[in-house]
Amino acid sequence: MERCRTLWKEGKFTWVRHAEERLSALGWDITDVENMIRYGRVIEHSKPGDFWRYKLEGPNAERQTGGLAYEFHGELLVLVSVMMKGKWRN
């Protein structure tokens, strides 16, 4: 989580299209993602491809529990998916 938070603060992050679409579908914005990163915790990790993927759970800006999947590509944080608690899509 420390590396995730550091890269986020430094602005070294990007989104995949799926994450942007999910964020929009939920009616959330970057503030919700930032809150989850600031106060969330990793609940799972796996290696579905070339990179380790981490899933975190935390509160969005409205204090609803949400989830975020991310990977590290070198010194870049890549946000893979965003979802409500219990709605993970792999």
Dump pLDDT digits (tens) for 20-56.
999 999 999 999 999 999 999 999 999 998 999 999 9
Class of domain 2-84 as given by CATH: alpha beta
Radius of gyration of the chain (CA): 12
Q: Which element (helix H / strand E) includes 46?
A: strand 41-46
The three-class DSSP label of residue 7 is helix
Domain ranges, ordered by start, for the chain: 2-84
CA distance 87 to 5: 23
Confidence of residue 90 (pLDDT cuts 50, 70, 90): very low
Cα atoms in the Cβ-side hemisphere of radius 13 Å centred on 19: 21
pLDDT-based confidence at residue 73 (cuts at 50, 70, 90): very high
Give the pLDDT score at 86.
65
